[in-house]
Amino acid sequence: MSSYADRLSALREQLKRDALDGFVVPLTDEHMSEYVGAYAQRLGWLTGFQGSAGSAVVLPEQAAIFTDGRYTLQVRQQVSADHWQYVPVPQVSVEGWLGEHAPDGGRIGYDPWLHTRAWVEAARKALAERGAELVAVNANPIDAVWSDRPAQSDAVLSVQSDANAGKSSAAKRAEIADWLHERKADAVVLSALDSIAWAFNIRGDDVSHTPVALAYAIVNSDGTADLFVAREKMTDAVAQHLGNAIRVHDRAAFAPALKAFAGKRVAADPERAVAAIFDSLDAGGAKILSLRDPVVLAKAIKNPVEIAGHRAAQARDGAALSRFLRWMEIEAPKGGLTELSAADRLREFREETGVLKDLSFDTISGTGPNGAIPHYKVTEESSLAIELGHLYLVDSGGQYADGTTDVTRVIPIGEPTQEMRDRFTRVLKGHIAIATAAFPEGTVGAQLDSFARRPLWDVGLDFAHGTGHGVGSYLSVHEGPQRIAQPFYPGGASLEPLKVGMFLSNEPGFYKAGEFGIRIENLVLVVDKDIPGAEQKMMGFETLTFVPIERDLVDPTLLSFEERAWLNAYHAQTLAILGPLLEGDDLAWLEGKCAEI
């Protein structure tokens, strides 16, 4: 269709044919994934929005798109105000908005394979208050009007070796079986793609930048399992790896299989399993245990092999990024570079490692006003020239068989202003506050979040995103359940106790709309912390990412003695780790960037 207005009109016509007065469009897939395959990008197709989180509601006379503070600027650039109302979350929920705007007595459709049961119940209650009805559809109406909708990926599976996983699939399934026995359960449904990839030590190529395969699984209390995946994805090597204890079925057989648990106790995750899974279990007479997927926490606590692999991945990735930053420092002031060409060149540096599997997400390559969009995605249409007098922000990462990286750095193109230095230094102070935090066992991310914000709060500033997210091991760059964020911040609650072995990002920022953006991001590992005289178990963070932090943007007068000591020690360690991986002019550049401040 020629325009997004045409697509909206076509959807409304389809809703009439389906006898619906509205439809809800979330940005997810049948696995409640954050990052989804091209076939599931319904929100982007309908509206033009390219962010990684959002929802929309289409009514006969109104249409609204719901995004959080990360996308306040982006949604206004990509989605037409002529046809869409911008609604902020969590200030306003989709179900709350429906309760205010749905037609009296109307029929509002939803796809039960794209929503949780909790959302369905909340939306149904909100609509009932105005006499409207929530209706499950058998076929998604967007698919009926999306004529060139991409097919699901047919990429084959691959094996994640025990040498990188650190634990065999059999051992992981035995632990899941123990978990089931403790709860007197017969089976657990795994529907989150990264949980399946981790539990079976397999990887895929069905979602851009996230090495997962479209699949479902049921793990039984005897440690055997049923894996539901398209047959064409299987190879002899994967079949041999899975062994006889894992029965492989076509993906289409999953929903019918859920109806075969009459009288059985089956666990399913209310946050990660869609409403249709619960509906199918109910229809088959299963006794449902609404419990968190047992893989979630096990996957988040990395084993020694995963930690060692991550260190190796971070070192090679840090060397590649450092080479890029030196190249930018030389080439950008000459002119001729764009956000897009810079991102392409950075990928080349990572590819030169010889072991890059993929990027871990679309590189956020933003200069000037685009840098002020926290989750900016550069396109040919949006790409700006990188010019003198601006800041350049690059948030990027790589997928390697031994680890997933995510790092953000900011460099000035030419001479930065004093305002830029002030804001950068305040962000750095917040970053150091997280990096050096000590906290007792049981602490949750929400308790630490304000540490990163105080230097900005002191002068009336803030940033509209979380301070940190979990990271997978050659899996999703955004991994739960741990977070460092304000309580109930968009993207998930930050009330999970931090545990030794968890990876998180440390990424405070500042964004001046229309002018520049700043973010300093390293990945950290939760570790035990030995504090003399402590009367309880204490923990802290070990920084894992080593790339120079731009000294020209630091105002030393704003740093305390301890903060300056941290920065100097960080740069000394950066030189020690990356120095052996660089040579010649690259090494000389690194030595200059890591000099004491």
| Mean pLDDT value of segment 299-313 | 98
Convert the pLDDT of each residue in 192-243 to its tens digit.
999 999 999 999 999 999 999 999 999 999 999 999 999 999 999 999 999 9
What are the φ and ψ backbone dihedral angles of 298, each rounded to 5 degrees? -60, -40
Q: What is the mean pLDDT of the chain?
A: 96
- 62-76, 344-358, 398-412: segment of lowest average pLDDT: 62-76
pLDDT digits (tens, 9 = 90+) for 468-495: 999 999 999 999 899 999 886 655 557 8
Mean pLDDT of 543-559: 98
Is residue 82 packed enough to be buried (19+ CB in 10 Å), middle (13-18) or exposed (0-12)? Answer: exposed
Contacts of 423 (CB under 8 A, 6+ apart): 461, 510, 512, 518
User: Where in the chain are all domains bearing CATH 3.90.230.10?
Assistant: 301-586
Q: What is the pLDDT of residue 489?
A: 61
Q: What is the pLDDT of residue 375?
A: 86
What number is the average pLDDT over the span 541-567?
A: 98
pLDDT at 72: 87
pLDDT at 545: 98
CATH of domain 4-145: 3.40.350.10
Helices 561-578 & 304-331 angle (0-180, nearest 10): 100
- Give which of 516, 517, 498, 499 is closest to 507, Cα–Cα: 517
For the domain spanning 301-586, the CATH number is 3.90.230.10
Give the pLDDT band of residue 427 (cuts 50, 70, 90). very high
What percent of the chain is modeled with pLDDT above 70?
A: 99
Q: Which CATH superfamily is domain 158-298 in?
A: Creatinase/prolidase N-terminal domain (3.40.350.10)
Per-residue pLDDT, averaged over 91-113, amounts to: 95
Range(s) of the chain covered by CATH 3.40.350.10: 4-145, 158-298
The average pLDDT across 94-122 equals 96
Query: Which pLDDT band, with edges at 50, 70 and 90, does 74 fall under?
Result: confident
Quick one: pLDDT band at residue 130, thresholds 50, 70, 90? confident
Give the SS3 label for residue 271. Answer: coil
The strand pair at 63-67 and 85-88 is best described as parallel
What value does the mean pLDDT take over residues 554-564?
Answer: 98
pLDDT, position 73: 84
Inter-CA distances, 208 with 146, 310, 408, 475, 505, Å: 20, 21, 20, 12, 21
Mapped to the 3 state alphabet, what secondary structure does 373-396 carry? CCCCCCCCCCCCECCCCCEEEEEE
Average pLDDT over residues 156-175: 98
